[in-house]
Amino acid sequence: MRQVSDNELKNRLTFDNPWWEEGNGVDPEVDNYPRRMYFEPFLELVTQRDVKRAVVLMGPRRVGKTVMIQHTVQALIDLETPPENIFYVSIDNPLYTALDLEKILMMFQEIHSHPRRSKGLYVFFDEIQYRKEWEIHLKTLVDSYPGINFVASGSAAAALKLKSRESGAGRFTDFLLPPLTFAEFLRFRDVEDELFDVDNYKNSGTKDIGRLNQEFMDYINYGGFPEAIFSSSVRGDLRRFVGNDIIDKVLLRDLPSLYGIQDTQELNQLFSVLTYNTGNEVSLEGLSKASGVAKNTLKKYLDYLEAAFLIQRIHRVDQNAKRFKRITTFKVYLTNPSLRAALFGMIDQNDEAMGGLVETAVIAQFAHSGLIDFVHYARWREGEVDLVGILSSGEIWFATEIKWSDKALNDRGKISSLLNFAEKNGLEKARVLCRSAFEVKVYDGVKVLFYPVADYAYFLGRLSEAELQDGINPRTYEPYQFPPD
């Protein structure tokens, strides 16, 4: 049987690296896409020469990892890196199935007559999780070729993170790319300046809450997926372009192959239940009945889905903000609120699902930073508070209720649980995220800030962006500031 020749493989590699031809760069359409707020810190890691580590870019599907790599390639060219020193290859191409990573690297070197020990090269391995024992091979390359900067990316983030830490100790730097923040969405839509005083966002609200809420609605429906912002075709059939891809490639292929899951239908059913009920409190017993998955299996599936950045679990505390010794209930949120529309269709502002999706959108902003590790919800026999921030010291940092209406502004009964929680724990301030109201009221000594939830979501996104610009890894810091009360 005929085999693909080395020359044919090299021709394909040349085709996938158009900047090797004089005067070319990356695809102009891709180059014109806005940069993610994560781009500059990612580029800084990629270009480091003093630390010999491969950068492992992780994240869920369809959030722009390959586009950010292409933007990085163009930035390197703009920084006067010789284009022939930059190599990109997508490992999931069937042409490369029989080739190990070093063989692919050597083909690149042969194409441009690079010496085996050459320096100043950049090598990008996209979708690397499909290569068996990739972490061992990549570590070997890092050790063997100290003059080359290696970058690997992949969507099966759970396995990437696990394996990069197990086998790449001291050789890999993990970099997480989450879905778009609401602030990024507005920037990509080119409406941020129209809705906010961008340079003074901490001290001013939106200029137009009605329009901001419509943008927030669009963000919930499709804004977590960059391609949907720029393509009316994708927006018009989100399930086909995005939903089926998530199901086919993540639930039916990536996770089953990585974890040895035999019954993919079970996993699919569980994720459907979680997606439809995002933001709701659940129990293992209830989930088992709704999905048909046994409780022991259910625990593993939840771990897999969370490790793959598809869901985020938030744990319950009592009226005194104390964790329960035995966890029986918890809340599950999609890390990307648009996943619900991708699977079940878009909704409008009056849909009954909006309550859970608005909460999900807020949690999605927290998930861009280390703040998420301090977020809980409180529930006791007489009441519940949607979000409670508790620092490592046990100090209550904030208490927040989320309402997709403004009725609570004139109905104390709708925030009685929040007020009871504040009184019980000696809090002087609390927050109600609502649809459009911006007002401060005092109830029995507790100052309550009513604040538009869309405005707040924008603030959280900008907060994470500011941390990135200050050189702080937003996944690792102890929180020290929050929207002003």
Q: Per-residue pLDDT for 103 more than 70?
A: yes
- pLDDT-based confidence at 464, cuts 50/70/90? confident
Quick one: pLDDT at residue 154?
Answer: 85
Q: Per-residue pLDDT for 79 more than 50?
A: yes
Tokens of 317: 């505390």
Over residues 261-290, the mean pLDDT reads: 94
Q: Which letter, b or e, does each residue of 387-406 get, where b requires 16 or more Cβ atoms within 10 Å of its Cβ? A: bbbbeeeeebbbbbbbbbeb
> How distant, in Å, are the alpha carbons of 90, 168, 254, 304 from that of 163?
19, 7, 15, 14
Rounded distance, CA 316 to CA 329, Å? 7
Better-predicted residue by pLDDT, 369 or 137: 137
Helix, strand, or coil (residue 250) = helix
Over residues 164-191, the mean pLDDT reads: 87
Q: Per-residue pLDDT for 155 more than 70?
A: yes
Q: Per-residue pLDDT for 485 more than 50?
A: no
Quick one: pLDDT at residue 168?
Answer: 60
| Interval 332-343: pLDDT, tens | 999 999 999 999
Amino acid at 175: F
Quick one: pLDDT at residue 481?
Answer: 42
Q: Helices 264-276 and 284-291: crossing angle, nearest 10°? A: 120
Quick one: pLDDT at residue 167?
Answer: 67
**Residue 195: burial class (beta carbons within 10 Å; 0-12, 13-18, 19+):** buried
Better-predicted residue by pLDDT, 459 or 481: 459
Q: Per-residue pLDDT for 87 more than 90?
A: yes
What's the pTM?
0.92
Element (H, E) at 446: strand 446-452
Q: Per-residue pLDDT for 165 more than 70?
A: no
Residue 447 pairs in a beta bridge with 429, 442
Quick one: pLDDT at residue 153?
Answer: 94
Residue 401 pairs in a beta bridge with 432
Quick one: pLDDT at residue 247?
Answer: 80
**Residue 146: burial class (beta carbons within 10 Å; 0-12, 13-18, 19+):** exposed
The structural domains of the chain, ordered by start, are 6-176 (3.40.50.300), 182-469 (no CATH)
- pLDDT-based confidence at 89, cuts 50/70/90? very high
Over residues 197-220, the mean pLDDT reads: 93
Report phi then psi at 417, rounded to 5. -65, -40
Over residues 293-307, the mean pLDDT reads: 91
Element (H, E) at 301: helix 295-307
54 contacts: CB under 8 Å, gap ≥ 6? 138, 139, 141, 142, 150, 151, 152, 168, 171, 172, 173
The Cβ-side half-sphere exposure at 388, using a 13 Å CA radius, reads 28
| Interval 226-272: pLDDT, tens | 999 999 999 999 988 888 888 888 888 888 877 888 888 899 999 99
- pLDDT-based confidence at 308, cuts 50/70/90? confident
Percent of the residues in the chain that have a pLDDT greater than 70, as a whole number: 94
Over residues 460-479, the mean pLDDT reads: 69
Across the chain, mean pLDDT equals 91
Quick one: pLDDT at residue 151?
Answer: 98
Would residue 119 be called left, alpha or beta, if left means φ above 0 and alpha means ψ between -120 and 50 degrees? beta
Could you tell me where the beta strands, DSSP code E, fall in 306-409?
311-317, 329-334, 375-380, 383-390, 396-402
Q: How do beta strands 311-317 and 383-390 pair?
A: unpaired
Quick one: pLDDT at residue 473?
Answer: 56
Identify the weakest region by mean pLDDT among 158-162, 226-230, 341-345, 412-416. Answer: 158-162
Q: Per-residue pLDDT for 6 more than 90?
A: no
Q: Per-residue pLDDT for 479 more than 50?
A: no
